[in-house]
Chains A and B, each alone.
Chain A
Amino acid sequence: MRLWLSLPKSAWFGAVLLAALVAAAAIILRFAFGLNGENIAVLMLLQIAAVLALAIFSGNSGIVSFGHSAFMGLGAYTAAILTMPASVQKSALPALPGWMAGHELPLLAALGVAALVGLLAGFISGVPLSRLSTGSMAIGTLAFLVILHVTLVGARDITRGSQTFFGVPRLTTLGVALAAAVVMVLLARMWRESRTGLALRASRENEVAAAASGVDVTGVRLRGWVLSIAAVTVVGALYGHFLGAFSPKDFYFDLIFTLIAMLIVGGMFSTTGAVAGVVVLTAVIQILRRGESGFSLGSLTVPPIFGLPQLGLGLALLFIIWARPIGLLGLTEVGPATLTRKREAAPAPAALPPAPEQTATKRLEVRDVTVRFGGLAALDQVTFDVLSGQITGLIGPNGAGKTTLVNTICGQQRPTAGSVRLDDRILSDMAPWRVARAGLGRTFQNIRLFDRLTALENVVVAAQQTGADRAAAEGIAMAELTRMGLADRWDQMASGFAYGDRRRLEIARALALAPDFLLLDEPAAGMNPAETDALIATLDALRRERPLGLLIIEHDMRLIMRLSDHMIVMNKGQKIAEGPPAAIQTDPAVVEAYLGSRRKQTS
Chain B
Amino acid sequence: MDVFLQQCLNAISLGGIYALLALGLAVVFSIVSLINFAHGELMTLAGYAIYAALLFAMPLPVALGAGVIAAALAAMAIERVAFRPMRRADATSLLITSFAVSVILRVLFQNGISARPKPVALPPELSGVVTFGPVHLSVIALASIAITILSLAALSLFLTRTTMGRAMRAAAEDFQVLRLMGIRANRVIAVAFAISGALAGVSAALWIAQRGSVDPLMGFVPVLKAFIAAVIGGLGSLPGAVAGGFALGIAEVLFQAFLPPEALPFRDAFVLSLVVAVLIWRPDGLIPAKTGRRS
Interface residues of A (CB under 8 A from B): 62-64, 125, 127-128, 131-136, 138-140, 142-144, 146-147, 150-151, 153-154, 156, 161, 208, 257, 260-261, 264, 305-308, 310-311, 313-315, 317-318, 321-322, 325, 403, 406-407, 412, 444-445, 521
Contact across chains for A128 and B280 when beta carbons are under 8 A apart: yes
Q: Please measure, in the bound complex, the distance between the C-alpha atom of A261 and the C-alpha atom of B103, giving whole angstroms.
A: 11
Would you list 29 pairs from A and B whose C-beta atoms are within 8 A, ordered by A residue? A131-B283, A132-B283, A133-B283, A135-B29, A135-B35, A136-B283, A139-B35, A139-B227, A142-B228, A143-B231, A146-B269, A147-B268, A150-B272, A153-B265, A260-B99, A261-B100, A305-B111, A307-B110, A310-B103, A313-B100, A314-B104, A315-B104, A317-B96, A318-B100, A318-B104, A321-B93, A321-B96, A321-B97, A521-B295
Question: Residue B85 at the A interface, CB < 8 A?
Answer: yes
Contact across chains for A445 and B295 when beta carbons are under 8 A apart: yes
Contact across chains for B95 and A403 when beta carbons are under 8 A apart: no
Contact across chains for B107 and A310 when beta carbons are under 8 A apart: yes
Instruction: Tell me, rounded to whole Å, the shortest Cβ–Cβ distance linking B279 to chain A.
Output: 5
Contact across chains for B272 and A146 when beta carbons are under 8 A apart: yes
Contact across chains for A314 and B273 when beta carbons are under 8 A apart: no
Q: Please measure, in the bound complex, the distance between the C-alpha atom of A412 and the C-alpha atom of B111, giving whole angstroms.
A: 52
Q: Please measure, in the bound complex, the distance between the C-alpha atom of A261 and the C-alpha atom of B268, giving whole angstroms.
A: 27
Question: Residue B158 at the A interface, CB < 8 A?
Answer: no
Q: Please measure, in the bound complex, the distance between the C-alpha atom of A69 and the C-alpha atom of B160, giving whole angstroms.
A: 43
Contact across chains for B279 and A131 when beta carbons are under 8 A apart: yes
Contact across chains for B101 and A318 when beta carbons are under 8 A apart: yes
Given A307-B111, A310-B107: A138 and B268 interface contact (C-beta under 8 Å)? no
Q: Please measure, in the bound complex, the distance between the C-alpha atom of A180 and the C-alpha atom of B120, giving whole angstroms.
A: 50
Q: Please measure, in the bound complex, the distance between the C-alpha atom of A280 and the C-alpha atom of B82, giving whole angstroms.
A: 24
Q: Point out the residue from B86, B269, B272, B273 that lies within 8 Å of A322, measured CB to CB.
A: B86
Instruction: Tell me, rounded to whole Å, the shortest Cβ–Cβ distance linking A308 to chain B.
Output: 8
Instruction: Tell me, rounded to whole Å, the shortest Cβ–Cβ distance linking A163 to chain B.
Output: 13
Q: Which residues of chain A come closer than 8 Å to B280, judged between CB atoms?
A: 127-128, 131
Given A134-B91, A146-B224, A305-B111: A154 and B103 interface contact (C-beta under 8 Å)? no
Most A Cβ at <10 Å: residue of B95, B227, B295: B295
Instruction: Tell me, rounded to whole Å, the shortest Cβ–Cβ distance linking B17 to chain A.
Output: 17
Q: Point out the residue from B86, B227, B277 that lies within 8 Å of A142, measured CB to CB.
A: B227
Instruction: Tell me, rounded to whole Å, the shortest Cβ–Cβ distance linking B35 to chain A.
Output: 6
Question: Residue B33 at the A interface, CB < 8 A?
Answer: yes
Instruction: Tell me, rounded to whole Å, the shortest Cβ–Cβ distance linking B236 to chain A.
Output: 8
Q: Please measure, in the bound complex, the distance between the C-alpha atom of A150 and the C-alpha atom of B111, giving whole angstroms.
A: 27
Contact across chains for B86 and A321 when beta carbons are under 8 A apart: yes
Given A139-B227, A142-B227, A143-B276: A150 and B235 interface contact (C-beta under 8 Å)? no
Q: Which of B245-291 contact A (CB under 8 A)?
A: 265-269, 272-273, 275-277, 279-280, 283-285
Question: Residue B186 at the A interface, CB < 8 A?
Answer: no
Contact across chains for A150 and B279 when beta carbons are under 8 A apart: no
Q: Please measure, in the bound complex, the distance between the C-alpha atom of A143 and the C-alpha atom of B273, giving whole angstroms.
A: 8
Select from chain A the residue with minimum beta-carbon distance to B97. A321
Contact across chains for A140 and B276 when beta carbons are under 8 A apart: yes
Instruction: Tell me, rounded to whole Å, the shortest Cβ–Cβ distance linking B219 to chain A.
Output: 13
Contact across chains for A132 and B231 when beta carbons are under 8 A apart: yes
Contact across chains for B277 and A128 when beta carbons are under 8 A apart: yes
Q: Point out the residue from B97, B106, B110, B235 that lies within 8 Å of A318, measured CB to CB.
A: B97
Given A136-B285, A322-B85: A412 and B99 interface contact (C-beta under 8 Å)? no
Contacts between chains A and B (CB distance < 8 A), count: 140
Q: Which residues of chain B come closer than 8 Å to A64, judged between CB atoms?
A: 92, 95-96
Q: Which residues of chain B come closer than 8 Å to A305, judged between CB atoms?
A: 107, 111
Question: Residue B21 at the A interface, CB < 8 A?
Answer: no
Select from chain A the residue with minimum beta-carbon distance to B108. A311
Instruction: Tell me, rounded to whole Å, the shortest Cβ–Cβ distance linking A567 to chain B.
Output: 22
Select from chain B the residue with minimum beta-carbon distance to A62. B92
Apart from A264-B96, A318-B104: 17 A-B pairs, beta carbons within 8 A: A64-B96, A131-B283, A132-B279, A135-B235, A139-B230, A140-B276, A142-B227, A143-B228, A144-B276, A147-B272, A150-B265, A151-B266, A153-B265, A307-B111, A310-B106, A315-B104, A322-B85
Instruction: Tell me, rounded to whole Å, the shortest Cβ–Cβ distance linking A391 to chain B.
Output: 21
Interface residues of B (CB under 8 A from A): 29, 33, 35, 82, 85-86, 89-93, 95-97, 99-101, 103-104, 106-108, 110-111, 115, 224, 227-228, 230-231, 235-236, 265-269, 272-273, 275-277, 279-280, 283-285, 294-295
Q: Which residues of chain B come closer than 8 Å to A406, judged between CB atoms?
A: 295
Q: Please measure, in the bound complex, the distance between the C-alpha atom of A62 and the C-alpha atom of B284, giving whole angstroms.
A: 19
Closest 9 CB pairs of A and B: A154-B265, A317-B100, A314-B104, A307-B107, A131-B283, A314-B103, A314-B100, A150-B269, A154-B266
Select from chain B the residue with minimum beta-carbon distance to A204. B92
Q: Please measure, in the bound complex, the distance between the C-alpha atom of A136 and the C-alpha atom of B82, giving whole angstroms.
A: 22
Select from chain A the residue with minimum beta-carbon distance to B104. A314
Q: Which residues of chain B come closer than 8 Å to A403, judged between CB atoms?
A: 294-295
Most A Cβ at <10 Å: residue of B92, B106, B277, B285: B92
Instruction: Tell me, rounded to whole Å, the shortest Cβ–Cβ distance linking B273 to chain A.
Output: 6
Q: Which residues of chain B come closer than 8 Å to A325, judged between CB atoms?
A: 89-90, 93
Instruction: Tell me, rounded to whole Å, the shortest Cβ–Cβ distance linking A592 to chain B.
Output: 27
Q: Please measure, in the bound complex, the distance between the C-alpha atom of A308 and the C-alpha atom of B224, giving whole angstroms.
A: 24
Q: Please measure, in the bound complex, the distance between the C-alpha atom of A62 and the C-alpha atom of B82, giving whole angstroms.
A: 21
Q: Please measure, in the bound complex, the distance between the C-alpha atom of A66 and the C-alpha atom of B87, giving whole angstroms.
A: 24
Q: Please measure, in the bound complex, the distance between the C-alpha atom of A292 and the C-alpha atom of B58, giving whole angstroms.
A: 37
Contact across chains for A317 and B111 when beta carbons are under 8 A apart: no
Contact across chains for B295 and A317 when beta carbons are under 8 A apart: no
Q: Which residues of chain B come closer than 8 Å to A257, judged between CB atoms?
A: 99, 103
Given A407-B295, A412-B295: A138 and B35 interface contact (C-beta under 8 Å)? yes
Q: Which residues of chain B come closer than 8 Å to A318, judged between CB atoms?
A: 82, 97, 100-101, 104
Given A151-B266, A260-B96: A139 and B107 interface contact (C-beta under 8 Å)? no
Q: Which residues of chain A come closer than 8 Å to B108, judged between CB atoms?
A: 311
Contact across chains for A140 and B231 when beta carbons are under 8 A apart: yes
Q: Which residues of chain A come closer than 8 Å to B224, judged between CB atoms?
A: 142, 146
Select from chain B the residue with minimum beta-carbon distance to A521. B295
Select from chain A the residue with minimum beta-carbon distance to B91. A135
Given A127-B280, A306-B115: A136 and B103 interface contact (C-beta under 8 Å)? no
Q: Please measure, in the bound complex, the distance between the C-alpha atom of A133 and the C-alpha atom of B231, giving whole angstroms.
A: 10
Q: Which residues of chain A come closer than 8 Å to B115, judged between CB atoms?
A: 306
Q: Which residues of chain B come closer than 8 Å to A146, judged between CB atoms?
A: 224, 268-269, 272
Q: Please measure, in the bound complex, the distance between the C-alpha atom of A136 and the C-alpha atom of B35, giving whole angstroms.
A: 9
Q: Please measure, in the bound complex, the distance between the C-alpha atom of A140 and the C-alpha atom of B111, giving whole angstroms.
A: 31
Q: Point out the residue from A125, A150, A307, A310 that lies within 8 Å of B268, measured CB to CB.
A: A150
Select from chain A the residue with minimum beta-carbon distance to B103. A314
Contact across chains for A154 and B269 when beta carbons are under 8 A apart: yes
Q: Point out the residue from B33, B228, B277, B294 that lies within 8 Å of A139, measured CB to CB.
A: B228
Q: Which residues of chain B come closer than 8 Å to A444, judged between CB atoms?
A: 295
Q: Which residues of chain B come closer than 8 Å to A264, judged between CB atoms?
A: 96
Q: Please measure, in the bound complex, the distance between the C-alpha atom of A146 and the C-alpha atom of B271, giving whole angstroms.
A: 11
Q: Which residues of chain B come closer than 8 Å to A144, judged between CB atoms?
A: 272, 276
Contact across chains for A150 and B103 when beta carbons are under 8 A apart: no
Contact across chains for A143 and B295 when beta carbons are under 8 A apart: no
Q: Which residues of chain A come closer than 8 Å to B100, judged between CB atoms?
A: 261, 313-315, 317-318, 321
Given A317-B100, A318-B101, A412-B295: A139 and B272 interface contact (C-beta under 8 Å)? no
